[in-house]
Structure 1
Amino acid sequence: MGFARIVISCRDLKARVLACQYWSQRHTLFEGYDDGVCLTDDAWFGVTPEPLARQIAYEVSGASSSKTTIVDLFAGDRDTLACAQNNAKIYELTDEITWVHGDSFEYLRLALEEPEKLHEALRIDPASTILFGSPPWGGPGYRTDEVFNLHKMEPYNLRQLHQAYKSFDHALYLPRTSDLRASKALVAWIPAENSSHPTFYYGDD
């Protein structure tokens, strides 16, 4: 009798179990889920639910009439981007998005210091750009922390993120259990240096 051997790493198995747990929330994550939305296993617990994503987009878009570009700094790996491109097509947004697979920190460095090394379509002006970041929180396990320490967040802590983003107005999506003292500091840090634009702080519901 023949048999097939299937090997799944512990990490992959855990991601698949979590994906099953989030299945019942699929229409909250994406209202258009039944239209062919694609998600990687990790995205089931990493994606921002559509109602909240719409609210964030509304708030950020109203920051200033001078802002014409938003850069999503943690859009994911190659597989996640492939799903995002598929989903953008479903939501009829393909003409409004430029996709970049790479290191967002290096991209920002080039945009500021060596823009000539970037394709013309990828060059951005800090004065007309807002950065949005939903940095890794460590997966659903963050919910077990009574207080989420932003300064010990891995792999990028709050200070590292601000240092990289300080030339731009920026918004960060962080857990609602974040240390309030750190989040107050965050709100004070968010505008680009010498900027008079409003600040934003978002917590997970």
Structure 2
Amino acid sequence: MKKPAAAPSLSFRQSGRRPKQDEGLITNKYLHSMYGSPTGVMRPAGRIPLIKECKHYSSYDEMPEKLQKYWHQRNTLWQYDNYDIRMTDDAWFGVTPEPVAVEIATEMAAKRAQREHMPSVLIDLFAGAGGNTIQFALSGEWDRVIAVERDAATLACAQHNAEVYEVAEYVTFVHADCFDFLNRLANWPDTLDDSLNLSLDLDGDGRAMALARGVEFFASPPWGGVGYQQADVFDLEAMEPYSLAHISAACRPMAHALFLPRNGDLRQLAGLVPDGAPEKLDVVQYCVKGAAKGLVAYFPPENYGQGHERAG
């Protein structure tokens, strides 16, 4: 396993004129139409103190009844659970089991290696308590791993858990709404702190191409409760609070992997692939001890395809 590089404090921006905020380098019109122009400057999160919501349960009886079914799964969810892993009660419902998180990181790294322009930055848009973020950092495949989480207590858990796994210095944590972050990254780079600004000083399609080549996303969004379990085929547009189409449109043109319910409608996933796209959409079902935990749809970057793939 390669040792990951420490999260740098310098900007990825090339030298040159800094565009004014009101110029708005609009490369994702969908995000711009939904979120407009942001205010203020978004910066990395400092170390957030653990609070009472950041819990480690040491016995079955300590757990709320709604969580007790997870007690015997705790060492599958986290290999180092006994080393004071912290989660909010809500995070138990969304954390990716560690064996699955390892497989996802491996799959994303393999797909990255097949591209002529290998993304150097991976952004976990719904970082939660850090299950996937930690495995991306442990892989050492990306120059930077950025974890975005809007709930402060959950982000504090992620920072703490990254320390348990000894990768905290290799992750840049951001306390923000991920769609606000995406809008700034795609359209308003000057509203990001230099340490978060991953873009090049390019306008229009050139900027979109630079982002598509240099950045990729992983997203494990909320599914809207357990209602999906009752459906033979789950309508991914019914996910709450964010539909499949909303998440995918916000991530384009960059490659993005979406972790979705195991019974998600594959036709809806296929419908998001542009007609004549040179790359196929890969969908992988992940299981732990024979039980399906979810599927991941691996959307390739747009603007270039097989003609730009690395020969293997």
* Alignment pair present for 1:128 and 2:237: no
SS in 1 for 2:258: strand
In structure 2, C-alpha distance between the alignment counterparts of 1:55 and 1:22, rounded to whole Å: 21
Aligned-partner residue type, residue 119 of structure 1: D
Deviations 1:6-42 (A, max 9, x none): xxxxxxxxx9332222111000000110011111101
Q: Determine which of 52, 57, 61 is the counterpart of 2:105.
A: 57
Q: SS of 2:119's equivalent?
A: coil
TM-score by length of 1: 0.82
Deviates more, 1:115-124 or 1:182-191: 182-191
Report if aligned partners of 2:87, 2:157 keep a CA contact under 8 Å in 1: yes
- Secondary structure of 1:132's match? strand
For the residues of structure 1 that align with 2:73 and 2:157, how far apart are their CA atoms?
A: 18
Greater helix share, structure number: 1
| Structure 1 residue aligned with 2:69 | 21
Structure 1 residue 155, shift from structure 2 partner: 1.1
CA contact (8 A) 1:18 1:44 kept: no
Moved more, 138-147 or 106-115: 138-147
Identity of aligned residues (%): 43
Separation in 2, partners of 1:154, 1:30 = 26
Name the structure, 1 or 2, with higher relative contact order (CA <8 Å, separation 6+). 2
Which structure shows the higher strand fraction?
2
Residue type of the alignment partner of 1:177: N
Q: Secondary structure at the match of 1:62?
A: helix
Sort the Cα spacing of 1:17 and 1:124 in 2 relative to 1 into closer, same or farther, 3 A: farther
Correspondent of 1:33 among 81, 86, 100: 81
- What 5-or-longer segments of structure 1 have no aligned partner? 1-14, 198-205
Counterpart for residue 161 of structure 1 = 247
Instruction: Tell which deviates more after alignment, 74-83 or 135-144.
Output: 135-144
Q: Aligned to 2:271, which of 181, 185, 188?
A: 185
Q: Name which of structure 1's ranges 20-29 and 63-72 shifts more when overlaid on structure 2.
A: 63-72
Aligned residue identity for 2:304:
S
State the SS of the aligned residue for 1:63.
helix
Aligned partner (choices 146, 149, 160) of residue 86 of structure 1: 160
1:118-141 CA distance string (max 9 Å, x none): 111112242221100011112334
CA change 1:85–1:51 in 2 (3 A) is same
| CA RMSD after TM alignment | 1.9
C-alpha deviation, 1:163, in angstroms: 1.3
For 2:90, give the aligned amino acid.
D
What is the aligned length?
Answer: 183
> After superposition, what is the alpha-carbon deviation per residue over 1:78-128, rounded to whole angstroms, capped at 9, x for unaligned?
111111111100111111100101111111111111212211111224222
Please report how far the alpha carbon of residue 56 of structure 1 lies from its aligned counterpart in structure 2 after TM superposition. 0.4
Q: Tell me the TM-score normalized by structure 2.
A: 0.55
Runs of 4+ in 1 over 6 A off after TM superposition: none
Q: Are the counterparts in 1 of residues 253 and 303 from structure 2 also a CA contact under 8 Å?
A: no
For 2:245 and 2:259, locate their aligned partners in 1 and report how far apart those are by CA, in whole Å.
15
1:183 deviates by 2.8
Paired residue type of 2:238: K
Residue equivalent to 2:123: 71
Q: Deviations over 1:155-187 (max 9, x none)?
A: 111111121111211000011101121133353
Does residue 147 (structure 1) correspond to residue 233 (structure 2)? The answer is: yes
- Superposed CA deviations along residues 42-72 of structure 1, whole A, max 9, x for unmatched, are 1112100000001001111222242221111
Q: Which residue of 1 aligns with 2:134?
A: none
Q: Secondary structure at the match of 1:137?
A: coil
SS at match of 1:28: helix
Of 148-157 and 178-187, more deviation after overlay is shown by 178-187
**Distance in 2 separating the partners of 1:170 and 1:73:** 10
CA 1:117–1:31 in structure 2 vs 1: closer, same or farther (change >3 Å)?
A: same
SS across alignment from 2:112: coil
Q: Which moved more, 1:60-69 or 1:154-163?
A: 60-69
The alignment partner of 1:64 has SS state of helix
- Aligned-partner SS, 1:193: coil
1:176 aligns with 2:269: no
